[in-house]
Amino acid sequence: MRAETSMSGASGTIMAAEQPVHVKLRGVYKTYNSKRGDIHALDNINLDIREGEFLSLLGPSGCGKSTLLRCLAGLEKISGGGVQVHGKDIDGPPENMGIVFQRDMLLDWRTVLENVLLPLEFRRLPKQEYIEPALKLLETFGLRRSADRYPWELSGGMRQRAAICRALLDDPSLLLMDEPFGALDAITRDNLNIELQRIWTQTNKTILFITHSINEAILLSSRVAVMARDPGRIEEIVEIDLPRPRTLAMRESPDFIRYSAHVRAIFERLGTFIG
Amino acid sequence: MTTQTPAQQPETSREDGSFLRWWKQSSRLRFFLVFSILVLTAWEWLCSVTGVRPYIFPAPSQVFKELINDPQWLAAHTAYSVSATLIAFAISVVLGLILSVGIVYSRLLDRTLFTTLVATNAIPKVAIAPLFVLWIGTDIESKVLIAVLVSIFPMVVDSVVGLRSVDPGMLDLARTYRGTALQMFWKIRFPNALPSIFAGMKVAISLSLVGTIVGEFVGSNWGLGFVILQSQGQYNTPRVFAAILVLSILGTLMFQIVDMIERRAMPWHVSHRNRHDED
């Protein structure tokens, strides 16, 4: 079953299990010091994220999923264990990585285009060469005509699209997304889910996606890592074997419901109730 | 319904005179002018009806006469006060920014300098102004120094708040680009602080003028502060009023210039988003 080719067979996408490991987490351990004593945020996390895989971290708030992403992004130091990207231990943020947060983090004083070009300025890359690709990217996200507008002139969904463009500009092989659609309304969220799937199938990026929506995780992912809290840990990894491209209507299909019931059962067993 | 569209065009578009269009668009200024004329007329009328003596309370016409009596003399004193104010303002802005960057990045400076500033600010500047005149004389330097002392505090306080109030998520984002501390300052922290910095500048420009006048009161042979004191000594109250009028126009003008620079510098900012509809 694991070796099956996926339904979008035209491009010859192979199931994740045959791909080389992109990110390897081994015995990752993280504690915070606080006034009430040490907080055990992550406990013995072992996870292989394979190249071109769409992996979701799903769990209730406080289960350490954001912490895990931040450790992987090099924004926080781990207290034990190791994080490897392409077989090398990371020291700080890995190269060739894009990141999208729940809040768009667009700079108010820059236009959409200037915001998308921001990473290049930090990396001291020639901006002129990237203007065309940036505009093309904005085009695919329906933002071409908003390129010279300021963030405040845009809706929440458009802003988050711009943030995704910013993360994709340098064509990173690894994309980290920390509840990117969590603050959006349901309809915008659905649309962006479908857009994200399209980007992923077209570009074969490795995506680590954080969400607390069971449906969103199942709809998008090749695998869902279900997390539990106190201490934060991965409880189970569920492989989602639904055909691609997945549609919003699929959420009512028996297979989809079977997956969501399965995930829900895990949370119920753990005593966590989640939407 | 389509025939209605041309009729709904504003009539101003047909007017050729640009003055007329400007007059119709700048409702705030128009309101102010009408209001001023009403107040001045009432004031003039009250003065003539009550027969109050000019040295107690002059009528607008007397103040105006004093204003144009010796324009060069008044202009020279005005120029002196303006110079002192602008020099002090420039020093406050530059020094204030440097100090606030130091305070934001250094714990030691935060605990020493910032506390000292707060303590210094608690002293009424009028009380220590005579000391400066004693130490550095009655020339322009003492006015500038007093004005800087008065105006640097809001500059530092507002800039520190602005530089500190950066969203940590923005800095995280910059860190994933492996940005240097200098890049983070110029690309994120500083532009993010601009609204607060300009708020500080607006207070600082007004306080610089106040500080300059205080300095001139304490010891000077020049400036509008000197004009006020001298005229008061001569019971020339219309001239005192004339000097105050010039001061108030100066203060408004300088504030407006900073406001204009602010708009140019931050077209994105919340406070400017809908203003053009109103002006």
Per DSSP, the three-state class of A105 is coil
A152 interfaces chain B, CB cutoff of 8 Å: yes
Do both B90 and B210 map to the same domain?
yes
User: Is residue A85 situated within a structural domain?
Assistant: no
User: Is residue A41 situated within a structural domain?
Assistant: no
Question: Quick one: pLDDT at residue B21?
Answer: 72
pLDDT band at B138 (very low <50, low <70, confident <90, very high): confident
pLDDT in tens, A155-164: 999 999 999 9
| Cβ pair A101:B174 closer than 8 A | no
pLDDT in tens, B219-274: 888 999 999 999 999 999 999 999 999 999 999 999 999 999 999 888 888 766 65
Mean pLDDT in chain A? Answer: 89
Do both A179 and A268 map to the same domain?
yes
Q: Report, as an integer, the average pLDDT of A160-173.
A: 95
B250 interfaces chain A, CB cutoff of 8 Å: no
Do both A8 and A64 map to the same domain?
yes
Q: Which of A123, A155, A172 is the last residue of a domain?
A: A172
Do both A198 and A66 map to the same domain?
yes
Give the chain A residue nearest B176 (alpha carbons): A93
Do both A159 and A178 map to the same domain?
no
CATH number at residue A238: 3.40.50.300
Torsion sign (Cα): A161, A167, A170, A176? negative
Q: CA-to-CA distance for A210 and A216, rounded, in angstroms? A: 10
Do both B136 and B70 map to the same domain?
yes
User: Is residue B231 situated within a structural domain?
Assistant: yes
Do both B152 and B33 map to the same domain?
no
Do both B79 and B37 map to the same domain?
no
| Cβ pair B176:A99 closer than 8 A | yes
B186 interfaces chain A, CB cutoff of 8 Å: no
User: Is residue A27 situated within a structural domain?
Assistant: no
Do both B85 and B143 map to the same domain?
yes
A105 interfaces chain B, CB cutoff of 8 Å: yes
Give the domain extent around B146.
62-278
Chain B residues whose CB is inside 8 A of the A152 CB are 268, 270, 273
Do both A137 and A167 map to the same domain?
yes
Do both A261 and A178 map to the same domain?
yes
Could you tell me the CA-to-CA distances from A147 to A114, A126, A136, A140 in Å, in that order? 8, 19, 11, 12
User: Is residue A154 situated within a structural domain?
Assistant: yes
Question: Quick one: pLDDT at residue A213?
Answer: 94
Question: Quick one: pLDDT at residue A1?
Answer: 34
Q: Which of B268, B269, B272, B274 to mutate to test the interface with A (most CBs of A within 10 A)?
A: B268
Do both A141 and A157 map to the same domain?
yes
Do both B74 and B44 map to the same domain?
no
Do both B40 and B148 map to the same domain?
no
Give the domain extent around A189.
1-21+51-75+174-275
B233 interfaces chain A, CB cutoff of 8 Å: no
Interface size, chain A vs chain B, as Cβ–Cβ contacts under 8 Å? 59
User: Is residue A91 situated within a structural domain?
Assistant: no
Stretch (H or E) spanning A174: strand A174-178
Q: Which of A145, A172, A199 is the last residue of a domain?
A: A172
Do both B76 and B17 map to the same domain?
no
Tally the domains of chain B: 2
pLDDT band at B18 (very low <50, low <70, confident <90, very high): confident
Do both B248 and B168 map to the same domain?
yes
A77 interfaces chain B, CB cutoff of 8 Å: no
Backbone angles phi and psi of A10, in degrees to 5: -55, -40
Q: Which of B166, B170, B173, B271 to mutate to test the interface with A (most CBs of A within 10 A)?
A: B173
User: Is residue B98 situated within a structural domain?
Assistant: yes
Residues, chain A, total?
275
Tally the domains of chain A: 2
pLDDT in tens, A213-240: 999 999 999 999 999 988 899 999 999 9
ipTM: 0.87
Question: In terms of DSSP bridges, do strands A80-85 and A21-34 run parallel, antiparallel, or are they unpaired?
Answer: antiparallel
User: Is residue B56 situated within a structural domain?
Assistant: no
Chain B residues whose CB is inside 8 A of the A108 CB are 192, 268-269
A108 interfaces chain B, CB cutoff of 8 Å: yes
B265 interfaces chain A, CB cutoff of 8 Å: no
